[in-house]
């Protein structure tokens, strides 16, 4: 009895001190050849060290030829100094990529859990080998939301976590989907989805869905689509000190895609963002009230609102379109007729843009094509100074169904048949 008590105390002590001094570490072996899939070794390391341990990717290339669903992490450090290179077996991915649970989208890698700390030290890279996808999608009549085309990384159910110092290179489709995640900090992430052979399509930098208390700081994105996009039920999001190149700027939406579903985007703060050659600084896109088809490419008829947002200290060079745009006219390509661009029940309200300056190629500072059913209210534009290369100021503020504008006057009416980007 005496002896067993001592043994019990001794065992408890060694376990506790082992846990404190050196958490269990798993260094993932790399096969070194793309003929051997490294995904099983990666999953195995997370199984052994993904709860209260540390998982290390060495500074080498890991070949990822199959899907990974690692959604059960708990209190883990992920040290990523290597390069993860995804295979280009398009038929494999179309058949096997994992459901995301949004818009019928799918993904190559799901990561989730509580208290996860991912650090790429500025060198760790997720390379989607997207050049193959960008060429292939052009051959599929440019159906960029092709069913089964995978999002590079989906953070699903990630809470109280930090993701920093990671590079994403040529994602297969969207780069990071962040869904059902709360209290997560993203810092110093670089996304370069510039295609080497053809332009990339549908390669958003980051997308938030049904997530809250998410911060992005020092995010850099080179792409041709949404630089970052806050979608259905994204609340309490901040984006600071970031740089966006060539893409479409900060997107709110598309939203209102699910018939009769109530969704919001609220309490968004964007500060100190630099844009180079983007189409917009900020743009909103909602589906019309007519439902045609199903996601990913069809939908419509959603309810809700986007509200309580501040965008301040924005600098642009060569903005390509209206700096701030609203289009409530997203609809299924090929829908009967042209659709009705003013019947959405989804409302946009209480939005402020302050201190937006720089150079533009468009006369239009705003293009607000709002719904007649739920007009835009309380939109504010303050300290706006956008100029052409020759120093002339851009001065058009086009509006449709805008009530109580603050800090600006509408100078004309917007055209209604706008595309999802708000341009006619
Ligand atoms: C391995 O890489 C070569 C050269 O890039 C490529 O042709 C081949 O299809 C790849 N194999 C696999 C299994 O990904
Ligand atoms: C999916 O897998 C099945 C069976 O292996 C195959 O016949 C089919 O062509 C694959 N589909 C795609 C889109 O690659
Ligand atoms: C991923 O794994 C989790 C936990 O095992 C499971 O609940 C979920 O359905 C899986 N997701 C997919 C798309 O297979
Ligand atoms: C897809 O788009 C590209 C670039 O705009 C174009 O060159 C190509 O012809 C399109 N492909 C098809 C099949 O329509
Ligand atoms: C911002 O992120 C980049 C990588 O995209 C990194 O090189 C740079 O050091 C970061 N800056 C700060 C201030 O952390
Ligand atoms: C992004 O990728 C393109 C195409 O490979 C390359 O030319 C460019 O230098 C890259 N940009 C950055 C910042 O790494
Ligand atoms: C969005 O959040 C609201 C609560 O604010 C909830 O009622 C609704 O079901 C959510 N919608 C979706 C599609 O998750
Ligand atoms: C996915 O697509 C199918 C068929 O197009 C549709 O029936 C289904 O409602 C869609 N699911 C979601 C979640 O949108
Ligand atoms: C579009 O919908 C609005 C709101 O319901 C309605 O007032 C308008 O007449 C419709 N326009 C067309 C062309 O049907
Ligand atoms: C400056 O450039 C704009 C856009 O090209 C043009 O509309 C405007 O007339 C130019 N102003 C002067 C003074 O040349």
* Interatomic CA distance for residues 41 and 27, integer angstroms: 10
Q: Which of 198, 216, 224 is nearest to 279 (CA)?
A: 224
Q: What percent of the chain has pLDDT over 70?
A: 92
Question: Same CATH topology for 25-225 and 228-424?
Answer: yes
pLDDT at 296: 79
Burial of residue 421 (number of CB atoms within 10 Å: 0-12, 13-18, 19+): buried
Active site residue 204: no
Q: Which ligand is nearest to the CA of 241?
A: 5
Residue nearest to atom 9 of ligand 4 (CA): 138
Q: What is the pLDDT of residues 200-256, one digit of tens each?
A: 999 999 999 999 999 999 999 999 999 999 999 999 999 999 999 999 999 999 999
Atom of ligand 9 nearest to the CA of 372: 4
Q: Where residue 142 falls among pLDDT bands split at 50, 70, 90?
A: confident
Residue 298: predicted pLDDT: 86
Closest C-alpha among 343, 240, 330, 221 to residue 283: 330
What DSSP letter does each residue of 160-197 carry, written as one string? EEEEES-EEES-SS-SEEEES-EEEEEEEEEEE---SS
Specify the residue with its C-alpha closest to ligand 5, atom 7. Answer: 122
How far does the centroid of ligand 5 lie from the alpha carbon of residue 114, in Å?
25
Rounded CA separation 17/20 (Å): 5
Q: Give CA–CA dist 210/263, Å, rounded.
A: 9
User: Is CATH 2.160.20.10 correct for 228-424?
Assistant: yes
Tally the C-alpha atoms within 13 A of residue 384's C-alpha that lie toward its C-beta.
24
Which residues are within 8 A (CB) of 44 and not within 5 positions of it... i.e. 6 or more apart?
A: none
Q: Which is more confidently placed, 22 or 68?
A: 68
Query: Of 127, 204, 207, 225, which one is the catalytic site residue?
Result: 225
First-to-last C-alpha distance (Å) of the chain: 85
Give the chain's mean pLDDT. Answer: 92
81 phi and psi angles, rounded to 5 deg = -110, -5
Domain borders along the chain are 25-225, 228-424
Ligand nearest to the CA of 102: 8
pLDDT at 210: 98
Q: How high is the pLDDT of residue 14?
A: 35
Q: Which carries the bigger pLDDT value, residue 289 or residue 338?
A: 289
- pLDDT category, 424, cuts 50, 70, 90? low
pLDDT value for 224 = 97
| Mean pLDDT, residues 281-301 | 90
Choose between 19 and 197: higher pLDDT.
197
CATH number of 25-225: 2.160.20.10
Rg (CA), the chain: 23
């Amino acid at each position: 009895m005496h002896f067993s008590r001592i043994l019990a105390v001794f065992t408890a002590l060694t376990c506790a001190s082992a846990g404190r001094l050196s958490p269990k570490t798993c260094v993932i072996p790399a096969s070194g050849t793309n003929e051997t899939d490294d995904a099983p070794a990666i999953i195995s390391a997370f199984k052994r060290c993904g709860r209260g341990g540390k998982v290390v990717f060495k500074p080498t290339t890991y070949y990822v030829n199959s899907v990974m669903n690692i959604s059960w992490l708990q209190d883990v450090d992920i040290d990523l100094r290597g390069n993860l290179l995804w295979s280009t077996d398009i038929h494999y991915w179309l058949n096997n990529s994992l459901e995301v649970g949004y818009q019928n989208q799918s993904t190559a890698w799901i990561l989730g859990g509580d208290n996860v700390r991912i650090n790429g030290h500025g060198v760790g890279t997720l390379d989607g080998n997207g050049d193959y996808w960008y060429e292939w999608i052009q051959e599929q009549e440019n159906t960029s939301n092709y069913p089964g085309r995978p999002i590079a990384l989906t953070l699903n159910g990630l809470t109280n976590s930090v993701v920093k110092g990671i590079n994403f290179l040529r994602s297969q489709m969207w780069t990071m989907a962040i869904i059902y995640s709360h209290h997560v900090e993203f810092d110093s992430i670089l996304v370069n989805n510039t295609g080497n052979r053809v332009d990339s399509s549908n390669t958003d930098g980051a997308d938030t869905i049904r997530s809250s208390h998410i911060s992005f700081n020092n995010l850099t994105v080179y792409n041709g689509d949404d630089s970052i996009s806050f979608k259905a039920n994204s609340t309490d999001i901040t984006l600071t000190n970031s740089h966006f190149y060539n893409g479409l700027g900060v997107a709110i939406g598309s939203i209102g895609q699910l018939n009769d579903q109530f969704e919001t985007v609220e309490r968004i703060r964007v500060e100190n963002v630099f844009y180079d050659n983007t189409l917009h600084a900020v743009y909103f896109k909602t589906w019309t009230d007519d439902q045609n088809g199903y996601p990913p490419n069809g939908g419509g008829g959603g309810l809700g609102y986007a509200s309580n947002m501040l965008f301040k200290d924005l600098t642009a060079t060569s903005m390509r379109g209206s700096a701030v745009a609203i289009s409530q006219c997203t609809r299924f390509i090929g829908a009967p007729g042209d659709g009705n661009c003013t019947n959405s029940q989804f409302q946009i309200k209480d939005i402020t843009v302050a201190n937006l300056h720089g150079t533009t190629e468009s006369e239009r500072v705003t293009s607000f094509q709002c719904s007649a059913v739920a007009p835009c209210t309380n939109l504010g534009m303050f300290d706006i100074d956008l100029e052409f290369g020759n120093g002339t100021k851009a001065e058009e503020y086009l509006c449709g169904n805008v009530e109580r504008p603050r800090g600006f006057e509408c100078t004309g009416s917007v055209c209604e048949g706008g595309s999802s980007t708000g341009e006619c």
